[in-house]
Every structure is written in C-alpha cells, then in structure tokens.
Amino acid sequence: MNDSESLQLLRSIDERLSRLEKQVNKSQSIEEVALRPEVSILADIIDENCSPSSREGRENLAKVEVLKDLLQELSDEESLQSIKTLTKKLKNLTPYIEQIDELENVVSIMTDSLDEIMSHAIAHGLNIEELGENLKKMSGHLIEIIESGALTQLLESGVLDPKSIEIVGALGNSLAISKNHTKSVGIFGVLSSVYNKDVQRSLGFALNLATHFGRKLNQKNVKEIKHGK
C-alpha cells in the first residue's frame, strides 16, 4: 500500500469515528428521556396502589401474584388443550342452550297463566289454605294407597278398563234419571215389568254379574283357606 492509499484509508476511518461520536452525543439514558404525561400518570397510579408500605398495596400485590400464577397455569400446554376441548364442547351445547331459553319462556308463560287462574279463583271465593290442606290430605291418602299395594290391585282389577268405565257411566246416568222419576210399584207392577225388554236386559246383566261375582268370591275364599286366613 502506497502513501496515497494509506492517507485515504485514514481519512475514511476518521469520518466514521466522527459520525459515531455525533450519534453518542445525541443518545440519552432512560432517566433523561422525558416520559409522556399519560405514562407518568399510569406509573404514579401503580406506585400508589401497589406500594408494599400500605395495606391496600400489599393486598393488590397479592392479587397480582395470584393472577400471575393463574396465567402460568393457563399457559400450560395441558391447560390450553383442556380449554380447547371445552370450547368445542360448548359449541356442541349451543342448540341445547337455545332450547333451555325456549323452556324458560314456556315456564314463564305457564307461571303467568297459573297466577291469572289463581287470582280469578280467589276472586270467586277459593280458599287457598283450605285447598292446600285438602291437597295435603289427598297426597297422604295416595301415598298410603301406593304403599299398601291397593293401587296395583286397582289397576289390575279391570275397574279402569274402558268397558268397565262405560258401564259405570251408564249406571250413574240411569241412577240420575231414575231419581227424578220415582213411583210406587206393587207386586203386580213388578210382575208386569218382567215382560219389559229393558227390564229383561237389566235382569240378565244382574244375573250375569251375580254369577261372575260369586265365582270371584269363591276364588278369594279358596286363597284365604290355602294361606290359613
């Protein structure tokens, strides 16, 4: 390298050093940098509410520690996977949640209707306390019937069969009509009624009933003898 090249290299190095010196002179430390007013206010609030020297500050610091632990647990890979799975499950539950909302509306409508019915009933003289007492007695008797097995016997007896209910209904209707058309009948009136088709039909039903009822009574007596009653 000749003298000219050496001189040129020294000048280049001197220029770079000058530029670096200017940059160093322009730079400032963090303490020298003027903070924006918003940042200063935020820093003052943090110092005031998180100062270890005050009770409130210690409580806030404890809350921050709890929050930090919670964030660490949530950032765990297993926790993140659980949250992801839960999110998918919640999406699947969306239709059911909508149905629950609809159910709430139905219950609200039913409640309003019941309130209206009860208000109307009370206005017409319904005694709520008496109604509640009667319902209490009825529920007690119902429990006794269920525990004694009588309800099962009733269901298996055929009394609630549609044909049985139809016959009982016809009997009740006939009793109501006959009550309003009573008259005295002598022996000859009874004998003459035997030739009435309706009376013959009723007597046939009564005889058929007596036959089957007697058969059932006989079966019951046989069972009681077998069981030593």
Give the three-class secondary structure for 195: coil
Is 63 part of any domain? yes
Residue at 19 is within a domain: yes
Contact indicator for 159, 150 with CB cutoff of 8 Å: no
Q: How many domains does the chain have?
A: 1
Q: Is residue 84 part of a domain?
A: yes
Predicted pLDDT of residue 138:
86
The pLDDT, as a whole number, for residue 25 is: 54
Q: What percentage of the chain carries pLDDT values higher than 70?
A: 76
Radius of gyration of the chain from its Cα atoms, rounded to whole angstroms: 49
Q: Measure the CA–CA gap between 195 and 65, rounded to whole angstroms.
A: 104
Confidence of residue 30 (pLDDT cuts 50, 70, 90): very low
Predicted confidence band at 28 (pLDDT cuts at 50, 70, 90)? very low
Is residue 56 domain-resident?
yes
Tokens standing for residue 194: 């035997």
> Which pLDDT score, from 0 to 100, does residue 120 have?
78
43, part of any domain? no
Tokens of 176: 């109501």
Q: Is residue 120 part of a domain?
A: no
Tell me the pTM.
Answer: 0.33
Question: What's the pLDDT tens digit per position in 76-117?
Answer: 888 888 888 888 877 777 777 777 777 777 788 888 888 888
Instruction: Give a yes or no: residue 17 inside a domain.
Output: yes
Non-local CB neighbours of 79 within 8 Å, separated by 6+ positions: 73
Domain interval for residue 11? 3-26+50-92
pLDDT in tens, 197-221: 888 888 898 899 899 888 888 876 6
Both tokens of residue 226? 């077998």
Amino acid occupying residue 30: I
Q: What is the largest CA-CA distance in the chain?
A: 167
Amino acid letter, residue 43: A
Distance, in Å, from the CA atom of 128 to the CA atom of 8, rounded to the nearest integer, reads 113
Asked whether residue 138 is domain-assigned, the answer is no
Q: Which single residue is written with the structure tokens 């309706």?
A: 198
